[in-house]
């Protein structure tokens, strides 16, 4: 597969005189793709209905004539000020009931019909003008759904749309009352109009109500995206893409991705380490200038799944960012390493954000490949190195990995709604399993919760899936590999109730979760033979064989054949033990890797990637800090 690098560019930020020189320098650096347009609505349509395309025509022509392929973004994440005057009720509203105002970006409500129509209109106008343009090779729809926590809105538009959604799902208020258990605390409704959004209640709202609202809110994102897809499909045959984010679970990316051709995401490893993952201070200090060794890979694997094999990094950190609590500079070599890591996981394109650092407005402290004075920033040479190396590198295939993790957005909504222990977090649980697999040198696929055929994988992990989808249950029934479920798998009905028979209720496994407990940080439930449960532990009953015991003799993992149920949240040590045992059973070779080194198998090529700040020895080879090595197996 052909790999390429790209860059994000904002022609509207610069004098037109510099465009040609910028384009020439991009090409000189080996850049093939340039993404433009996604925030430029106020320049495309300065006043309602007055469209000004000439500058964009010239920008696309200048970039294209230099040899660049353009990704054109629809500008719907940044409605201009006049839009708000036209649709004063288009703003999202926060949980406290305050409108989220104009003056930054993403100030719109996914449920606002008038705004969705405006987005359809601008997408149609752009599609008509550029849909068959020779230099426009791909489209980006909107920008980072949910960025700045914008999926959930408590507006009047959302309330109206939620009532409609409920009416379609439940058909009658009586059915809704039954499904939610509204007899509890006399919460029964007689009419759809009596149902509000689940905010501003005296104490916690009914979890079934919250979960319904979370599902609805996700569906609104899918619907919003689809509105533009439907328009653009008719006007272009180029791939339609959205740029997702890291650790963002408020909407179902599998569902949005089903309407698109390529998934992409925006990768800011150092920013994420600082503000998006749980880790010890020592870990954060060690990886300060590199980012966490598994965070990027996790999302590469996730979005490869969401894109059904086709995915890009649409924005790649080029130097210090501006938005994390602290913003260190990358270790020399990381701007290159991050790109190669993405290619090793199957990315088609890695596109750096951004070309030149803007000296004005919100992101003036965010690095680009160029400094504000147009001199090269340190990232440029590394990006250019990647472009040169691409020519020499082996082909990267993306066949199935040996291990799959089932990843379910709805499970995250369920456990956010009812964590039962303050630190029970779905992403954190899944990520802890993923990290252990990677510490053992294994490559991983992330698969959706309705996966109906598990036969490509030798091992499947499904921790924390609140509700098992029928397709997955059936697939597990005939699965020949080793499947590890739990903790908290199949623990709720789709309406957020405790199922009877009690969980996990798995075919062929006589095991029942009789009682659960959450435990605070610093406390553990030890498991005999080494390791422990943290955060969460379950007491099991039933005749299924106990494969592990807790030191108090209760079962810690039960199994029947190749099906296992894990009765707690393993510490890292216990995950390592589990991965070693299960890999041996599935005849998967594992390796104890040096700290910070990670492997990725891509077809016949094995990549070794050193996130550590010092060189490591691996199979007779020295891999420098921030180094990447590859070899044919």
Residues lying near ligand GAL in the complex (CB under 6 A): 143-144, 147, 266, 268, 315, 321, 323, 353, 363, 366
* Nearest one of 45, 161, 37 to 92, comparing CA atoms: 161
Q: What is the distance between the alpha carbons of residues 466 and 251, in angstroms, rounded to a whole number?
A: 16
Q: Which is nearer to ligand GAL, 356 or 564 (CB)?
A: 356
Of the candidates 407, 400, 467, which has an alpha carbon nearest to the alpha carbon of residue 433?
A: 407
Number of neighbours of residue 414 by Cβ within 10 angstroms: 25
Distance CA 369, CA 346 (A): 24
303-to-276, 308, 536 alpha-carbon distances in Å: 18, 8, 29
- Cα–Cα distance measured from residue 207 to residue 6, given in angstroms and rounded to the nearest whole number: 44
Minimum CB–partner distance for residue 317 and ligand GAL (Å): 7
The residue among 230, 328, 315 whose CA lies nearest residue 288 is 328
Nearest approach in angstroms of CB 281 to ligand GAL is 24
Q: Which is nearer to ligand GAL, 353 or 536 (CB)?
A: 353
CB of 184 or CB of 323, closer to ligand GAL: 323
How far is the C-alpha of 449 from the C-alpha of 472, rounded, in Å? 7
Among the listed residues 38, 45, 118, 144, the single catalytic one is 144
Residue 144 annotated among the catalytic residues of the structure = yes
Quote the least distance from Cβ 259 to ligand GAL, whole Å.
20
DSSP labels, 456-482:
T-SEEEETT-SS--HHHHHHHHT--SE
Structure tokens at 628: 């990447």
Q: Which is nearer to ligand GAL, 104 or 478 (CB)?
A: 104
Nearest distance in Å: CB 230, ligand GAL: 24
Task: Respond yes or no: is residue 194 known to be catalytic.
Answer: no
Q: Tell me how far, at minimum, the Cβ of 313 lies from ligand GAL, in Å.
A: 12
Minimum distance from residue 144 beta carbon to ligand GAL (Å): 5
DSSP per-residue codes, 513-570: EEEEEE--TT--EEBTTS-EEEEEEEEEESSSEEEEEBTTSSEEEEEETTEEEE-EEE
What is the closest distance, in whole angstroms, from the C-beta atom of residue 39 to ligand GAL in the complex? Answer: 7
State the catalytic residue, choosing from 45, 118, 315, 382: 315
Q: Which residues have a Cβ under 8 Å from the Cβ of 552 and sit 6 or more positions away?
A: 525
- Nearer to ligand GAL by C-beta: 313 or 475? 313
Kindly tell me which of 216 and 353 has the beta carbon lying closer to ligand GAL.
Answer: 353
Residue 76 and residue 57: Cα distance in Å, rounded?
Answer: 19
Positive or negative, the CA dihedral 131, 133, 136, 138 is positive
* Closer Cβ to ligand GAL, 242 or 600, answer by number: 242
**In contact, 338 and 287? CB cutoff 8 Å:** no
Catalytic residue IDs: 144, 315
């Amino acid at each position: 597969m052909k790999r390429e690098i790209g860059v994000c560019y904002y022609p509207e930020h610069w004098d037109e005189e510099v465009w040609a020189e910028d384009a020439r320098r991009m090409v000189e650096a080996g850049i093939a793709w340039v993404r433009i347009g996604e925030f430029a609505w106020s320049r495309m349509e300065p006043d309602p209905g007055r469209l000004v395309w000439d500058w964009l025509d010239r920008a696309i022509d200048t970039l294209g004539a230099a040899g660049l392929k353009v990704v054109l973004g629809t500008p719907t994440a940044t409605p201009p000020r006049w839009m708000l005057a036209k649709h004063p009720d288009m703003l999202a509203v926060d949980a406290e009931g305050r409108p989220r105002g104009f003056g930054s970006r993403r100030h719109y409500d996914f449920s606002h019909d008038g705004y969705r129509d405006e987005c359809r209109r601008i997408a149609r106008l752009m599609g008509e003008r550029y849909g068959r343009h020779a230099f426009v090779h791909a489209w980006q729809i909107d920008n980072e759904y949910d960025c700045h926590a914008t999926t959930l809105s408590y507006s009047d538009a959302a309330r109206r749309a939620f009532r409609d959604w409920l009416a379609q799902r439940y058909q009658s208020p009586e059915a809704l009352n039954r499904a939610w258990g509204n007899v509890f605390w006399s919460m029964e409704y007689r009419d759809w109009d009596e149902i509000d959004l689940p905010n501003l209640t005296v104490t916690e709202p009914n979890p079934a109500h919250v979960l319904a609202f979370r599902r609805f809110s996700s569906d609104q994102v899918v619907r919003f995206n689809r509105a533009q897809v439907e328009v653009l499909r008719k006007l272009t045959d180029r791939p339609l893409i959205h740029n997702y984010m890291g650790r963002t679970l408020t909407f179902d990316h599998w569902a949005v991705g089903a309407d698109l051709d390529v998934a992409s995401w925006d990768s800011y490893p150092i920013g994420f380490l600082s503000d998006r993952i749980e880790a010890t201070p020592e870990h954060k200090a060690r990886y300060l200038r590199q980012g966490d060794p598994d965070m990027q890979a996790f999302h590469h694997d996730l979005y490869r799944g969401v894109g059904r094999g086709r995915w890009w990094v649409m924005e790649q950190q080029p130097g210090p960012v501006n938005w994390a609590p602290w913003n260190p500079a990358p270790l020399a070599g990381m701007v290159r390493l991050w790109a190669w890591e993405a290619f090793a996981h199957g990315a088609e394109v890695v596109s750096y954000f951004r070309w030149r650092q803007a000296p004005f407005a919100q992101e003036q402290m965010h690095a680009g490949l160029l400094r504000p004075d147009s001199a090269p920033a340190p990232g440029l040479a590394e990006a250019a190195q990647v472009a040169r190396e691409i020519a020499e590198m082996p082909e990267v295939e993306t066949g199935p990995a040996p291990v799959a993790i089932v990843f379910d957005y709805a499970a995250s909504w369920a456990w956010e709604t009812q964590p039962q222990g303050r630190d029970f977090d779905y992403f954190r649980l899944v990520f802890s399993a993923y990290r252990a697999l990677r510490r053992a040198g294994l490559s991983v696929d992330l698969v959706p919760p309705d996966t109906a055929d598990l036969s490509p994988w030798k091992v499947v992990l499904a921790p924390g899936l609140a509700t098992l989808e029928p397709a997955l249950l059936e697939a597990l029934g005939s699965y020949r590999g080793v499947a590890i479920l739990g903790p908290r798998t199949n623990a709720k009905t789709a309406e957020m109730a405790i199922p009877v028979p009690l969980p996990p209720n798995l075919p062929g496994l006589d095991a029942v979760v009789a009682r659960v407990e959450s435990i605070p940080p610093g406390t553990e439930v030890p498991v005999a033979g080494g390791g422990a449960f943290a955060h969460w532990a379950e007491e099991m009953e039933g005749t299924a064989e106990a494969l592990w015991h807790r030191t108090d003799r209760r079962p810690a993992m039960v199994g029947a054949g190749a099906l296992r149920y894990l009765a707690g949240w393993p510490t890292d040590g216990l995950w390592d033990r589990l991965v070693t045992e299960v890999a041996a059973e599935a005849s998967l070779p594992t390796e104890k890797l040096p700290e910070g080194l990670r492997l990725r198998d891509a077809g016949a090529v094995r990549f070794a990637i050193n996130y550590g700040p010092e060189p490591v020895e691996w199979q007779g080879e020295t891999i420098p800090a921030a180094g990447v090595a590859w070899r044919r197996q």
